[in-house]
């Protein structure tokens, strides 16, 4: 799938759409999810144009990947989530229900998060 430069997160990165920003560095940008699904629900996105985890893990440079993963950990730490804990999640493709075609990691926290996935 080709990257759509007008997807909502690309527009947030360009400052065209407002967000509640949490963190920014050379590789990553983090902001609160507009429809939180936990008491804490933050999204971390790479600054590069990658559609999903599949695209990012395949095409991004080592520097971008390391910078992004470090940023996810830093955001969680800075928000005080390392203890008592948090969950990260990334959707790729139709079966996952991915809605926004710019790679993003969800950070969920602030409550007991229950099972990883609902039983079928």
Catalytic positions, please? 104
Least separation in angstroms between CB 78 and ligand 5GP: 18
Smallest gap from residue 11 Cβ to ligand 5GP (A): 8
Residues 12-51 touching ligand 5GP, rule: CB under 6 A, are 17, 19, 31-35
Residue bearing tokens 């065209």: 16
- Provide the minimum distance between the beta carbon of 56 and ligand 5GP in the complex, in angstroms, as a whole number: 13
CA distance 31 to 58: 25
Distance CA(89)–CA(84), nearest Å, equals: 17
Contact pick of 53, 65, 98, 110 for ligand 5GP (by CB under 6 A): 98
100 lines the binding site for ligand 5GP (CB under 6 A):
yes
Which residue among 26, 83, 94, 99 contacts ligand 5GP (CB under 6 A)? 99
Number of residues near ligand 5GP (by CB under 6 A): 13
* Element housing 44 (H / E): strand 40-46
List the x/- string, 74-93, binding to ligand 5GP by CB under 6 A. -----------------x--
Q: What size, in residues, is the chain?
A: 120
Q: Identify whether the C-beta of residue 41 lies closer than 8 Å to the C-beta of residue 78.
A: no
Angle, alpha carbons 71-94-89 (nearest 5°): 25
């Amino acid at each position: 799938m080709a990257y759509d430069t007008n997807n909502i997160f690309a527009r947030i990165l360009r400052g065209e759409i407002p967000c509640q920003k949490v963190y920014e560095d050379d590789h990553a940008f983090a902001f609160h999810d507009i429809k939180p699904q936990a008491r804490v629900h933050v999204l971390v996105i790479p600054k590069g144009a990658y559609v999903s985890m599949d695209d990012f893990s395949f095409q991004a440079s080592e520097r971008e990947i390391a910078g992004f993963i470090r940023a996810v950990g830093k955001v969680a730490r800075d928000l005080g989530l390392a203890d008592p804990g948090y969950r990260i999640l990334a959707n790729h493709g139709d079966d996952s229900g991915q809605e926004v075609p710019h790679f993003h990691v969800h950070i969920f926290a602030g409550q007991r998060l229950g099972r990883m996935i609902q039983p079928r």
